[in-house]
Each structure stands twice: as C-alpha cells, then as structure tokens.
Amino acid sequence: MPGAERAGAIGARQLAAPAHKSDSAMLATVARELELELVFLSAAALADCDGVVLTESRRARATADVGSVAEAAALAAAGAGARLLLPRRLSARASCAVAWVDAHHLSKESS
C-alpha cells in the first residue's frame, strides 16, 4: 500500500486528533489506509503541550484554547521528549503536524 510505505519511511506510528473528533469517519479511514493507530487526545493533554507549539491559530485558540490543535495533538501523542518535526500544515479541510521522539532521548530515560 503506497500510503503505508510513505508513513513507514518516517517511522509514523499514530494518527492523533483531539477527542472531540472521535466520531470522524474520515480520520478512521485515513488511519486505516495508512495503517496507523488512531489516538484521540483530551483537551487537558492538548493544553499540556500548548507551551511548545510553534504556530498560533485564532480558531484553535478560540475552540480548543491551544495555539495549534494539530501540533499539540502530535506532541501529546508522541509523549515525553517529543519535538515537532513538521509544524502545522493546512489544507482546505484539515491540518496536520508531525512530532517525533529521538531514540537517543528514549534510551536515556530508560537508563
């Protein structure tokens, strides 16, 4: 599957979204097509990452009280030590961001 190959090239494991999108058939379809685990993050988890998002959206601030829902969701799903690899990108119907955790960081935490 071409989508899965592209996702695997960067080590993608999850597609993260805010909990209020948990009924989105589109997200479920995209996750299935890309063979990614679909995870939904609480408003509190998004808020915990607000201090490190790189972009600021008036709409995101008004609806979710974070600068970027996409960036906060990516960071929250990636976990401790995550940083943005790709800040928020927009299309007509969606936004996305990519976060990652350096394997070196993970090995230090488990020591």
Provide the CATH number for the domain around residue 81: 3.30.420.180
Q: What is the pLDDT of residue 90?
A: 93
**And the tokens for 104?**
């070196």
C-alpha dihedral (61, 102, 14, 9), degrees to nearest 10:
120
- Which residue range forms the structural domain that includes residue 52? 2-110
Q: What is the pLDDT of residue 93?
A: 87
Q: What is the pLDDT of residue 11?
A: 60
Q: Tokens 């960081």 belong to which residue?
A: 105
Q: Low-confidence residues of the chain, pLDDT below 70?
A: 1-12, 103-111
Stated pTM of the model: 0.81
Count of structural domains, the chain: 1
Q: What is the pLDDT of residue 9?
A: 45
Q: State the CB neighbour count (10 A cutoff) for residue 98.
A: 16
Express each pLDDT in 12-34 by its tens digit: 689 999 999 999 999 999 999 99
C-alpha dihedral (74, 78, 81, 85), degrees to nearest 10:
-50
Q: What is the pLDDT of residue 3?
A: 46
Q: Contacts by 61-66 with C-beta closer than 8 Å and gap 24+?
A: 64/18
